[in-house]
Amino acid sequence: MLKPLTAAVVLLLGLAPAAVAAPKPNVLLILADDLGYSDLGCYGGEIATPRLDALAQNGVRFTQFYNTARCWPSRAVLLTGFYAQQVHRDRLPTVAGGANGVRQAWARLLPDFLKAAGYRSYHTGKWHVDGKVLAGGFDRSQSMANPGNFFSSRGTAVDDVAQKAPADEKGYYNTIATADHAVACLKDHAANHAGKPFFQYVAFHAPHFPLHALPDDIARYRDRYLDGWDALRNARFAKQKQLGIGTGTLAAVERDLGPPYRYPEAYAKLGPGEAPLPLPWGDLTPEQRRFQATKMAIHAAMVDRMDREIGRILDQLRAMRAYDNTLVVFASDNGASAEIMVRDGGHDPAAAPGSAASYLCLGPGFSGACNTPFRRHKTWVHEGGISTPFIAHWPAGIAARGALRHTPAHFIDFVPTVLELAGVQKPREWAGVRIPAAPGVSLVPAFAADVTIRRDFLWWLHEGNRAVRVGDFKLVAASGKAWELYDMRTDRAEQHDLAGAMPEKARELAEVWQRQTTAFTELAR
C-alpha cells in the first residue's frame, strides 16, 4: 500500500503507480544574484540563455514568483522555509536582524531535514547565511565571499576551511569556478554515493556587481544596447506579450528615482559617462550612452556565461544518468540592482570596462529595463524588486512542457515543496526545542496544473519598504511613504493606485500586514 504522502505526490504529478518504486528525486537549486525578471530569453530577454530556455521549454515557468528584494534574506528563506525576519535574518521594527543576524537553534536548514531521507547535500558559490556551511547539514561546500573581483578566488573556503588565493590567478573566473566545483561534487556523488539522492545548491554570484566578464563574452554584446534602455524595455515587453508572460501594462519609468543608496564620491571616480538617473536615452550625452550601453553589455555577458556554465552542470547530470530524476529549479535572489558604488579594489578609469581593475554597477536605467515590465529595483518591494523568474524542470515528475504557472508563490514555498517530494515529514522540534509552524505551502499541485495555491497572504519588509498581498490585491509602500493599493490581476506594473478609491480594502490589507508583523516580532524575540 502506498504511504499517504507518496500516493498524493503520485496523484498530483500524474505519475503511473509504478513510478512509486522510483528513487527519490534529486534537487538542484540554481540561484542567480541580481538577475532581472526579464533577463532570460524565456522571460522576454535578448540575452543568449539557451540552456535555461530549454529547461523552461521542457518544464514550467512561474509568472508570479517572489523573493525578498535582497540577497541574504532570500537565501535564509530558501533554506529555512521561514520569512527572514522570523529567523533574525532581516530587521523588524523592534527586533534586530539582517546580514549579521543569527538564526534560532530551531531554524534549521533544509539539508538537516533531508538527511532523514538519505540525501547528501552540496553547496557551491555564495553563502550569505549565518553559521558554517557544513554545520547547516551540507556534506561538501565551496563558499565564495561576495566578490569584489570575479577574477580572484580571494575569500574562498572549501568545506569551511579558508583557502589562500594563489599568487597567479590567470585564467580564474568566479562563474566558471562555481560550475567546476558543482560538477566535481556531482562526479564524486556518482562515484561514491550513487545509491543516494542529493540536494545541490548552486549559488552563482553573477550578475551581481562589480560588472566583470570575460572579454570574448563581452564582445558578443558590445554594441547590442546602443539604442538604450527605453528601446530595450519596449522590446522585452513586446516579447513577453508574445510569450504570454506580459499580459498587463508596462510600468512607466520613474525618471527621478535613482539608486537606493547615495555614494556621490563614486560618480567622480566613474567619470562623466555615469548616469545616476534613468533619463530619456536621447537626453544623455554620447559619452554617457556609450558608457551605459557598455555596462549593460557586461551584465549580459555575465548572464550568458552563467547559462553556459549551467549547461556544464546539466551535462554532468546527463552523464551520470541523473538528469531525468532531478528537479532543477532556477531563480534570482532579487530584482536587478540600481546601485552605483565603487568599493573593494576601486575603479581604474583607464582599465578596460569589465576587467579586474574596473568596478562598475548597472545603475537605474538598465536595471529598470532588466526588471521589465515592473516598477523599481532590488531593495524595494514593488514588483521590480521582488519578482523573480522561476523555472521548474523534472522530466520524471513534471509532465508539462513549456507551460506557464500563474499562481502567486514565494521562496517560503521551496522547503515544503522539496520535503513533500522527498517524502520527509518535518519534525516538530529540534534538540528539544519546538519548531514553529512555517508559513510556506507546497507547490507540488502547481507542477501538475495551472492551479492557484491557496494561502492567506504574502508579506514583505526590507529597510522600511513594506508590502502584503492577499489574493489579487497588493498593498505596498516605499520607506517613509504612504500605502499604495494595486489590483494584481490587471496592474502588476503598479500604475493605478486604488488606495483612495478603495480605502476599506487598503485598511483591511494594512491590518493584515500589521498583524503579521506583530506575530513575527513575537516569534523573533
Strand ranges (E), 285-343: 326-332
pLDDT of residue 225: 98
C-alpha 276 chain-centroid distance = 25
| Tens-place pLDDT, residues 124-162 | 999 999 999 999 999 999 999 877 899 999 999 999 999
Residue 20 — very low, low, confident or very high, per pLDDT cuts 50/70/90? Answer: very low
Around Cβ 167, how many Cβ atoms within 10 Å? 5
Distance from C-alpha of 457 to C-alpha of 450, rounded to nearest angstrom: 19
Contacts of 256 by beta carbon, 8 Å cutoff, 6+ apart: 277
User: Which residue matches cell numbers 575569500?
Assistant: 155
| Tens-place pLDDT, residues 166-192 | 999 999 999 999 999 999 999 999 999
Q: Could you tell me if residue 456 is inside a domain?
A: no
Active site residue 128: yes
Average pLDDT of every residue of the chain: 95
pLDDT more than 90, % of the chain: 93
| Pairing of the two strands 409-410 and 60-66 | parallel
- Catalytic member of 88, 123, 128, 382: 128
pLDDT of residue 525: 87
| Tens-place pLDDT, residues 469-486 | 999 999 999 999 999 999
pLDDT of residue 321: 98
Helix, strand, coil distribution of the chain in percent, nearest 5:
35, 15, 50
Active site residue 71: yes
pTM metric for this prediction: 0.95
Residue 464 — very low, low, confident or very high, per pLDDT cuts 50/70/90? Answer: very high
Name the domain count of the chain. 1
Residue type for position 438: A
Around Cβ 420, how many Cβ atoms within 10 Å? 20
Q: Could you tell me if residue 138 is inside a domain?
A: yes
pLDDT of residue 324: 98
Q: Could you tell me if residue 371 is inside a domain?
A: yes
Closest CA to 32 of 43, 19, 18: 43
Q: Which helix (H) or strand (E) holds 519?
A: helix 503-524
Which of 4 and 232 is assigned the larger pLDDT? 232
For the residues of 232-289, what is the DSSP string, one character each?
HHHHHHHHHHHHT---S-PPPP-TT---SS--HHHHHHH-TT--SS---GGGS-HHHH
pLDDT of 4 > 60? The answer is no
Distance (Å) of CA 497 to CA 257, 294, 332, 380, 508: 18, 36, 27, 17, 16
pLDDT of 6 > 50? The answer is no
Residue type for position 61: R
Distance from C-alpha of 346 to C-alpha of 368, rounded to nearest angstrom: 25
Contacts of 449 by beta carbon, 8 Å cutoff, 6+ apart: none
For the residues of 10-35, what is the DSSP string, one character each?
HHHHT--GGGGGSPPPEEEEEEESS-
What's the 3-state SS for 117-157? HCCEEEEEECCCCCCCCHHHCCCEEEEECCCCCCCCCCCEE
pLDDT more than 70, % of the chain: 96
| Pairing of the two strands 458-462 and 387-393 | unpaired
| Tens-place pLDDT, residues 34-83 | 999 999 999 999 999 999 999 999 999 999 999 999 999 999 999 999 99
Helix, coil or strand: residue 399: coil
* Assigned C-alpha cell, 103: 538564526
Q: Which helix (H) or strand (E) holds 165?
A: none
Supply the Cα-derived Rg of the chain in whole angstroms: 22
Distance from C-alpha of 22 to C-alpha of 424, rounded to nearest angstrom: 16
> Which residue range forms the structural domain that includes residue 187?
4-17+28-450
- Catalytic member of 71, 185, 361, 370: 71
Tell me which DSSP letter residue 43 carries.
G
The whole-number average pLDDT for the span 308-334 is 98
pLDDT of 519 > 50? The answer is yes
Q: Could you tell me if residue 518 is inside a domain?
A: no
Distance from C-alpha of 363 to C-alpha of 458, rounded to nearest angstrom: 28
* Assigned C-alpha cell, 32: 542567480
Distance (Å) of CA 461 to CA 83, 386, 475, 521: 10, 11, 12, 12
The whole-number average pLDDT for the span 207-235 is 98
Distance from C-alpha of 203 to C-alpha of 385, rounded to nearest angstrom: 19
pLDDT of residue 147: 76
CA-CA-CA-CA torsion sign (282, 299, 68, 154): negative
Residues in the chain: 525
For residue 171, give the CATH number of its domain. 3.40.720.10
pLDDT of 2 > 50? The answer is no
pLDDT of residue 460: 98
Q: Counting Cβ atoms within 10 Å, is residue 8 exposed (0-12), middle (13-18) or buried (19+)?
A: middle
* Residues 188 and 341 sit within 8 Å (Cβ to Cβ): no
* Assigned C-alpha cell, 322: 541523473
Closest CA to 499 of 483, 515, 513: 483
Q: Could you tell me if residue 190 is inside a domain?
A: yes
pLDDT of residue 22: 61
Closest CA to 307 of 54, 27, 37, 44: 54
Residue type for position 305: R
Q: Could you tell me if residue 464 is inside a domain?
A: no
Q: Could you tell me if residue 294 is inside a domain?
A: yes
| Tens-place pLDDT, residues 77-107 | 999 999 999 999 999 999 999 999 999 999 9
Residue type for position 417: T
What φ, ψ does residue 211 adopt, rounded to 5°? -75, 100
